[in-house]
A and B are shown apart, each in its own frame.
Chain A
């Protein structure tokens, strides 16, 4: 049975329950939960088994990245940026590198354009595979989590071969990428895509036609279309609500304008609709990877020569470079004062909006047992909130 749909209420109108009345129970969810990567707590106020109020608490992972970056050389910040969103380090690498290149007037070689696109699509697939395990697990489907994490490991094998690292790749660097593809790599990419695609077919059958999953996920955490602009919602959370926005298409960065794909758009942004849409985007990522394998130039340079990294000064200016990550708009705002260190680096992660403002509104009226499923359905990575 579909739940009653919620409608936006300005945050100023939030009612605070009287905790001294004896009617409410305060309980915490988190900061550990396998469905989100990182640590984040929800302070829930429940009446019976229904949540009536929620506050998102972050800070468990604050490492002061943005502050640290202001006192380090541009190149020294590379080992930092990839750690801002652990399961998707490549989007940080790309946005930071592209921002520096834009300010410094560096143009990267054609082959680097394709290898960067490959890297971003492979990590999109890996990240979604981890997410779907968390989403299924939150509704009691632990087997699917075991399948999908295994598939993710196969993709990480490819990353290890390409970059030397499984989690943090540091592959996309200013001027291009760090290395060429190894011999026989494309063949192994295609073989892995076949295996993952077959597993996605199984997941689709087992998870999306399951009566329990459908009963619990349909109607849960419904996001109306008019919330998308009001709350700055992006990515699958917005596309499932009918907003056909995808920076890969709208901004046309890297090789995306030359790839054949259309953004997937849904009609119902509830937990089920969002999961359906993300499953579709996993198939789409596989398709894009196959296109990239087919079209990446075999020869040519993969990196532009840069000035001495110890003395590299970026001309004064500012820019904002954004990319479409698995969760939506991911961007780096970089301000240079002309010195060898950034004046300011601000990271825009989609979780900032989804896990705080949107989560706090959606969770009201939800059964305690469904809070985890709702939280994972927004696809949250807390490190990008705290930076």
Chain B
């Protein structure tokens, strides 16, 4: 796989190659070249299967890190391609013409993180959060507990235990000491 790392670095300036297992590696590319990289990996390197796409909110660095997981069925090797995009007005090239299911992931990332994929079919339609009016809920600065406390009223008579405190005090008191 080192040869692939060299080719990827030479062609597209890929960096931070990391072999997680013998059948799984990861690398980072510039977000502006993501569509070219994905097309090249699919057509020239045999990574024809798109397992999934997702994002990680690296709020400390001010970026969303996109993760594209590919698999080469011929070699059994998996590859995760990362690309950072700024958290302010994030826009990424769509790959919906490369894989028939990619538009669904992009629609999800638009709804969950606010990352736009211009030209992706139905990217602005609600996906999972029908009627949601809050901010993109998977962003790290969206506090789901604070939102829940502010939005919903406590039902009288219910007692809530903090799960961590319950584990510490009731389930594993020896471990807590």
Are A230 and B138 within 8 A (Cβ)? no
Scan A80-103; emit 1 where CB is below 8 A from any B CB, else 0. 000000000000000000000010
Cα separation A11 to B128 with both chains bound (whole Å):
20
**Are B24 and A309 within 8 A (Cβ)?**
no
**Contacts of A320 on B, CB cut-off 8 Å?**
24, 51, 69, 78, 80
Q: Tell me, rounded to whole Å, the shortest Cβ–Cβ distance linking B6 to chain A.
A: 22
A66 at the interface (CB under 8 A from B): yes
- B24 engages A59 (CB within 8 Å): no
Stretch at the interface among A69-77, A106-114, A176-184: A69-77
| B130–A59 touching, CB < 8 Å | yes
A14-B121, A232-B99, A333-B69 known; A251+B23 contact, CB < 8 A: yes
**B172 / chain A contacts, CB cutoff of 8 Å:** 308-310
Which of B20-62 touch A at CB < 8 Å? 20-21, 23-24, 26, 48-52, 54, 56-57
Contact of A310 among B26, B52, B127, B175 (CB under 8 A): B175
Please report which residues of chain B, range 82-133, place their CB below 8 angstroms from some CB of chain A when the two chains form the complex: 96-97, 99-101, 103-105, 121, 126-130
Which residues of chain B are within 8 angstroms of A75 by Cβ–Cβ distance?
167
Interface stretch of the complex, out of A128-136, A201-209, A351-359 = A351-359
Q: Does B63 contact A (CB under 8 A)?
A: no
Question: Is A318's CB under 8 angstroms from B54's CB?
Answer: no
Q: A333 contacts which of B54, B99, B137 (Cβ < 8 Å)?
A: B54
Interface status of B176 (Cβ within 8 A of chain A): yes
B8 is an interface residue with CB less than 8 A from chain A:
no
A344-B54 in contact given A309-B175, A310-B172 (Cβ < 8 Å)? yes
* Majority SS at the chain B contact face: mixed
B126 x A59 contact (CB < 8 A): yes
Q: Cβ of A68 < 8 Å from any Cβ of B?
A: yes
* A71-B51 contact given A58-B128, A386-B128, CB 8 Å threshold: no
Known: A59-B130, A386-B128. A310 touches B176 (CB 8 A): yes
CA distance A331 to B71 in the complex (A): 13
Chain A CB count within 10 A is highest, among B78, B121, B127, for B127
Given A11-B121, A250-B73; A318-B26 close (CB under 8 Å): yes
A346 cross-chain contacts in B, Cβ below 8 A: 52, 54, 67
Is B157 positioned at the interface, with any CB of A under 8 Å from its CB?
no
